[in-house]
Amino acid sequence: MVYGYGNRIAFIDLTKGKVKIRKPKESILKEYIGGKGLGARLLYDMLPPKIDPLSPSNILIFAVGPLTGTGAPASARGVIVTKSPATWTFNDSNGGGFFTSYMKLAGYDALVFLGRAEKLSYVYIDHDGKIHIRDATHISGYGVYATEDTLKDEVGDKDAKVASIGPAGENLVKIAGVVVDKHHIHARGGSGAVMGSKNLKAVVVSADKNNPRYELAYPDEFNEFNRRYIKEKIFSEEYSWAKDGGTPVIVQWSNEAGLFPTKNFQDGVFDGWEDISAEILKSYRTSKAACYRCTIACRNLVKIRHEKFGEVFIDGPEYETIAMVGGSTGLGDFKAIVSLNALLDDMGMDSISAGNIIGYVMELYEKGYISKDDLGGLEAKWGDPDVEHELVKMIAYRRGFGDIMAEGVKGIASYIGGDSYKFAIEVKGLEYPAYDPRGSYSMALAYATSDRGACHLRAWSIVEEAFGDKDPYIVEGKAEIVIRLQDLNAIKWSMVWCDFLAINYEDMSTYLRLATGWDLKPEELRYRGEKIWNLIRLFNLREGFTRRDDYAPYRILHEPLKSGPAKDKVIGVDNFNKMLDEYYRLRGWNKDGVPLKKTLRRLRLSKDYKRVWHPLN
């Protein structure tokens, strides 16, 4: 037995309707830890190159780590790993709430879904840890809310936790996510579409919180260290933002820095941002909340009554939703944003990509690339919540032009043609999130080099730049920041911790030793983060990705911002290439973004390189 783990990986063959339980090797766990790292290792080893992500051959992995659900702050996390249908890259999406902690309580380190069920199905893990594959045809087309309520009743456990897809996932919408606890979503990259392609509607877990199916190596020492860490760090001023407003406080920070995405990234300052700020949220907040055993408690439970959309209760909205569904579409009505957030959750869709897509469609409409006839009679004018609601539904059900929108911004631009690519704000097919790099240059590099396409969470370098003390408008030194954060986050998401926990390698090392008994030094953890990042780079190279895929959008490189502190700022092609060249050099990759042989030898990945396909071979 390996302490800190359930010591079980379930391989669930949906085609054959069979389940096999295997014990993971301690050597694999020690090298890749769990979560992102374990998922990356499994996906790399099991998935054939170049397969269609929506074919039965793709693999869908739910994975947790040695810290998941232990009571360590911000550890109620897990990841979903697959090949993305939006980007065709490696994809892992991190999520909180209660579901992943219950999966760990039930004694599973990973659930690996193979094949495709003959009919719509759901998987149930009962109180004894036994896995059942059950018929879900009676809930076909259900939204996430009704799905969760129905399945809890069906398994006879009101405390069961559910991960499910809505209509967007069933309809293979490429921005579909997997929603847990109704309001937490493994959002980015289309894992919900992969789940839908497997005819898998939901995963339901029952577990005994008082009898977890894992053991810690040093439980008394773990609890003592954890109490001290929480008291000294989590209850310090450093986390006051989370306990007060949560992520919506970033609305003010982004506007003050001039990088808040406004009308499809045409500008970086949103007039009337105060109307969608954290202070407005507080007036509708019913209480604060936390994920399973988390002491940060950043969540906001909000209730509104809208004259058109009725009474809505959600866990949120987070900054990204406010910015992308609000600012990026020109919508300054907080209650309308809340109602859209609820609709997106119920449909099972990523609010970042949805807001980006809708903002793009509104600009296409404004510039005459599409008409209201293309949109079924809708006039896609900026800031119209009724139009946004209809567009969300069109995407979720692939209705009319929604069938094109469901392919993402890159798919729309390909369909429209002409100069429409110049304001399609994406990387590798994944839509930009809510930080305009023209106000924080390192974010352009972070988005470009992210393993899954445009992602702010791989390296939230803005915290040291526009939100910190470094000059945001120079390119020197930015590659080092991005690499350092990418490697750190790779190991954080393997343990698995939340992004909001600003933990260092020393404290991670202590937590891991007390949970597992392994005495891995801080430098050994940093090494593993770098190794995981490079393994995933090999995965993407095997899929055919090269330097040409590590790009920044035309608008970000060529068009200056119109107003605010970053007015007239534009990154430029030369500056971007300087950052990318420096990034590759520091990574130990060649000019085309391929790891050098000496880098792979140092990271013990040489054998994996031999299994890579890329154009330079």
Which of 225, 234, 229 is closest to 296 using CA atoms?
Answer: 234
Are 315 and 297 in contact by the 8 Å Cβ rule? The answer is: no
Instruction: For CA atoms 446, 452, 453, 456, give the dihedral sign.
Output: negative
- Strands (E) in 8-77, as ranges, are 9-13, 18-22, 60-63
Are 208 and 127 in contact by the 8 Å Cβ rule? The answer is: yes
Instruction: Indicate if 382 and 341 belong to the same structural domain.
Output: yes
Instruction: Indicate if 424 and 441 belong to the same structural domain.
Output: no
- Strands (E) in 244-329, as ranges, are 285-289, 299-306, 310-315
pLDDT band at 595 (very low <50, low <70, confident <90, very high): very high
Are 65 and 494 in contact by the 8 Å Cβ rule? The answer is: yes
DSSP annotation of 325 = I
Residue 272: CATH number of its domain = 1.10.569.10
Structural domain includes residue 237: no
Q: How does pLDDT run across 503-515, given as a tens digit for each residue?
A: 999 999 999 999 9
Q: Which of 429, 447, 474 is the last residue of a domain?
A: 429
Residues 6+ apart with CB under 8 A from 221: 514
Q: How does pLDDT run across 540-590, given as a tens digit for each residue?
A: 999 999 999 999 999 999 999 999 999 999 999 999 999 999 999 999 999
Structural domain includes residue 323: yes
Q: Is the confidence at residue 526, as pLDDT, over 70?
A: yes
State CA 169 to chain mean position distance: 16
Average pLDDT over residues 56-84: 97
* Neighbour-count burial for 527-562, b at 16+ CB within 10 Å, e otherwise: bbbbbbbbbbbbbbbbbebebebbbbbebbbeeebe
Structural domain includes residue 215: no
Q: Is the confidence at residue 615, as pLDDT, over 50?
A: no
Instruction: Indicate if 478 and 600 belong to the same structural domain.
Output: yes
Paired tokens of 318: 């987070």
pLDDT at 307: 86
Q: How does pLDDT run across 7-30, given as a tens digit for each residue?
A: 999 999 999 999 999 999 999 999
Residues 6+ apart with CB under 8 A from 80: 39, 60, 61, 62, 63, 92, 93, 95, 178, 186, 191
d(CA 442, CA 470): 10
d(CA 304, CA 320): 19
Average pLDDT over residues 248-267: 97
Give me Rg for the CA atoms of the chain. 23
Instruction: Indicate if 261 and 306 belong to the same structural domain.
Output: yes
Instruction: Indicate if 455 and 425 belong to the same structural domain.
Output: no
Structural domain includes residue 225: no
Task: Say whether 125 sits in a helix, a strand or coil.
Answer: strand
Q: Is the confidence at residue 616, as pLDDT, over 70?
A: no
Instruction: Indicate if 331 and 387 belong to the same structural domain.
Output: yes
pLDDT at 611: 62
Domain count, the chain: 3
Q: Is the confidence at residue 617, as pLDDT, over 70?
A: no
Average pLDDT over residues 486-503: 95
Instruction: Indicate if 395 and 459 belong to the same structural domain.
Output: no
Q: Which of 177, 205, 233 is the last residue of a domain?
A: 205
Q: How does pLDDT run across 143-179, given as a tens digit for each residue?
A: 999 999 999 999 999 999 999 999 999 999 999 999 9
Q: Is the confidence at residue 613, as pLDDT, over 70?
A: no
Structural domain includes residue 294: yes
Provide the terminal-to-terminal Cα distance of the chain, rounded to the nearest Å. 42
Instruction: Indicate if 190 and 254 belong to the same structural domain.
Output: no
Instruction: Indicate if 449 and 562 belong to the same structural domain.
Output: yes
Q: Give the range of the structural domain holding residue 114, as residue numbers without chain letter.
A: 9-205
Instruction: Indicate if 309 and 376 belong to the same structural domain.
Output: yes
Q: Is the confidence at residue 424, as pLDDT, over 80?
A: yes
Residue 141: CATH number of its domain = 3.60.9.10
Are 446 and 214 in contact by the 8 Å Cβ rule? The answer is: no
Structural domain includes residue 445: yes
Are 3 and 217 in contact by the 8 Å Cβ rule? The answer is: yes
Q: Is the confidence at residue 614, as pLDDT, over 60?
A: no
Structural domain includes residue 221: no
Q: Which of 156, 177, 205 is the last residue of a domain?
A: 205
Average pLDDT over residues 56-80: 97
Q: What share of the chain has pLDDT > 70, as a percent?
A: 99
Instruction: Indicate if 486 and 419 belong to the same structural domain.
Output: no
d(CA 450, CA 435): 15
Structural domain includes residue 99: yes
Cα angle value 421/422/423 (rounded, 5°): 90
Which element (helix H / strand E) includes 192?
A: helix 191-197
Residue 509: CATH number of its domain = 1.10.599.10
Paired tokens of 175: 């921005």
Q: How does pLDDT run across 180-214, given as a tens digit for each residue?
A: 999 999 999 999 999 999 999 999 999 998 899 99
Instruction: Indicate if 424 and 451 belong to the same structural domain.
Output: no
* Tokens 């690499």 belong to residue: 483
